[in-house]
Amino acid sequence: MRIPAPGTLSGPIVGQAERGGVSRLRAAYGAVVLGGCALTFVVIAWGGMVRATGAGLACPDWPLCNGSAVPEPTKLVLIEWGHRLIAGILGFVIFFTTFGAWRWHRHDRGVLIPATLASVFVVIQIILGAITVTADLSPQIVSAHLGTSMLVLAMMLMTVAGLWRRPRLHRSASLRALPLVALFGAAMTYGLLLTGSYVVGSGAGAACRAWPECDGLPGAGDLVQVHMFHRTAVLLVGAVVAYTAWRAFQARRRLPALWNVAAAAVGIYAAQALIGAGNIWFGLVPAVQVAHLAAAAAMWSAMVLLATLAWRASAVEG
């Protein structure tokens, strides 16, 4: 039996013993995991629509909705119920991702560890989803719910990165501290996501009526502080992202993919800042809020991929 090269995205299996259904599953494994990444992104963005429209309160119970498995199809119920449905489908995809990692990639830690953690975080996410409903959308629980979903997305992206061939390094300067810089940038981005979620969950999003300055609402002192803390975090993360991109630019001859992902991260950050300003300019309309969360998820994805590629390249470098 011919064994596919380690690290490649699940390729065709030609051995007679693995022909048939199992062989087709293994051949499709990489595509399923990649599709799981896309579906995770959709679930996160749809969750933003649930929050922005207030649809989370349309189904005050869990796992049923208004005591029914098939609730009355009002607009808000459909938004919330649709979110639960695609989240359920995603759960099966992620469990298959973990199964496939243990079945076909158990000796590749770059695939096995993130694929396993993806299922762990999904279970936590399910529990938090139920608590989010029963806790009447507490800001802390909502932030934890979003934070866990971002960890699921990160694990799926890391699994996909692990399925690809190890990066080929061109002869030039060493990567030096770039893996640590990229990891720090990803951690800062994650912290920014949590602060943004708390701003929305606590109602501090409307505490400032102008951008970039803050014309605070009368009597909204504490909420203004929460809002401005998030804006300060945005500036700090922007500086870290810019520095990470500069280090990736220095290593572009060593590993061009790093610079490509870093450049994408800078572009997404700029778009995200403008969308955040749009939240103030247009009065927190749902469409802009959803776009803001989607851009945040894209930003997080870019930083996770950047850190993963940098660490994999560092391992190759030795």
Q: What is the DSSP string of 154-221?
A: HHHHHHHHHHSPPPPPPSSS--TTHHHHHHHHHHHHHHHHHHHHHHHHHTGGGSB-SSSS--BPTT-H
Q: Kindly state whether residues 215 and 289 are assigned to the same domain.
A: yes
Domain limit, last residue, from 106, 134, 165: 165
Q: Are residues 122 and 184 in the same domain?
A: no
Per-residue pLDDT, 99: 95
Residue 142 and residue 284 in one domain: no
| Gap between the Cα atoms of 15 and 1, Å rounded | 4
Q: Are residues 4 and 117 in the same domain?
A: yes
Q: Are residues 151 and 178 in the same domain?
A: no
Pick from 165, 190, 208: which residue ends a domain? 165
- Structure token pair of residue 250: 């220095």
User: pLDDT by residue for the chain (318 residues), tens digit each?
Assistant: 344 444 444 444 334 444 555 678 888 899 999 999 999 999 999 999 988 888 877 888 887 887 788 788 888 989 988 899 999 999 999 999 999 999 999 999 989 999 999 999 999 998 988 887 776 667 788 888 899 999 999 999 999 998 886 655 554 445 678 889 999 999 999 999 999 988 888 888 888 888 888 877 666 678 888 899 999 999 999 999 999 999 889 888 877 888 999 999 999 999 999 999 998 888 888 999 999 999 999 999 999 999 998 888 777 655
At 137 the pLDDT is: 62
pTM, full prediction: 0.85
Domain of residue 102 covers 1-165
- Indicate if 181 and 215 belong to the same structural domain: yes
- For residue 113 the two structure tokens come to 């560890």
**pLDDT score for 17:** 43
Instruction: Report pLDDT for 71.
Output: 80
Q: Are residues 141 and 176 in the same domain?
A: no
Does one domain contain both 239 and 300?
A: yes
* Tally of structural domains, the chain: 2
Question: Does one domain contain both 152 and 30?
Answer: yes
Last residue of a domain, one of 165, 189, 215: 165
Regarding whether 139 and 193 lie in a shared domain, the answer is no
Residues 181 and 306 in one domain: yes
Say whether both 160 and 65 belong to one domain.
yes
Q: How far apart are CA 24 and CA 126, in angstroms?
A: 30
